[in-house]
Amino acid sequence: MDSLWPIYGLDAADTFPDYEAIFGRSAPLVVEIGFGNGETLAQLAGNQPQTNFLGIEVHRPGVGQLLLRLQARELSNIRIFCADAVEVLTNQIADGSLSGVNLFFPDPWPKKRHHKRRLVNPEFISLITRKLKSGGFFHAATDWEDYAQQMLDVLERCDQLENTAGETKFSPRPAHRALTKFECRGQKLGHGVWDLIFIRK
């Protein structure tokens, strides 16, 4: 954190950052919320050098792991916020500026009394939708079937989003979303995985 955060880290500011200046170029901007250990985000950035990525993660150990991955792979198209995703989206990202948002395997809060803590709800999706450009995507994935259905219901009710798989359907996993170790372990145990990809109208 001491040596690499100054290179890749972004701190909260009172005004929207100038991402073109930060990255030194004009390019599509994609956010990944809750990147965990950064494995998927680093792979995405390596495979899509033409895209700028912002990673948001509240847990410092995961941030540290991603920093090491970025240094090892010499990636320059990622910047990181170690902060709450809703606060970053609200205060650090301008409306209509994102080409995409990824949310892979968010905390499912499996107990029914905790479902209200799940990140995907109408208010959150309204915020995401405001930040997306026309044609921008929201891509979520989960291995909890009831959370997948809840996500689908919330997304389908947003008039400004369109399901790329067709109404009420889940999407096949696109090739660019790499399988994580966590996901592979779940599949070996017979767990399903559900992808949802919606486009801003």
Among candidate residues 84, 107, 146, 153, the one labeled active-site is 107
Angle, CA 170 vertex, CA 42 and CA 115 arms, to 5°: 80
Taking a C-beta distance cutoff of 8 angstroms, is the pair 137, 100 a contact? yes
Residue 107: active-site member: yes
Angle, CA 94 vertex, CA 163 and CA 46 arms, to 5°: 65
DSSP string, 28-77: -EEEEE--TTSHHHHHHHHH-TTSEEEEE-S-HHHHHHHHHHHHHHT--S
Question: Hey, what amino acid is at 50?
Answer: Q
Other CB atoms within a 10 A radius of the CB of residue 102 amount to: 23
Choose among 128, 137, 134: nearest CA to 51.
Answer: 137
| Calpha distance 154→84 (Å, rounded) | 21
Choose among 133, 120, 46: nearest CA to 93.
Answer: 133
| Calpha distance 155→198 (Å, rounded) | 8
Residues taking part in catalysis: 107
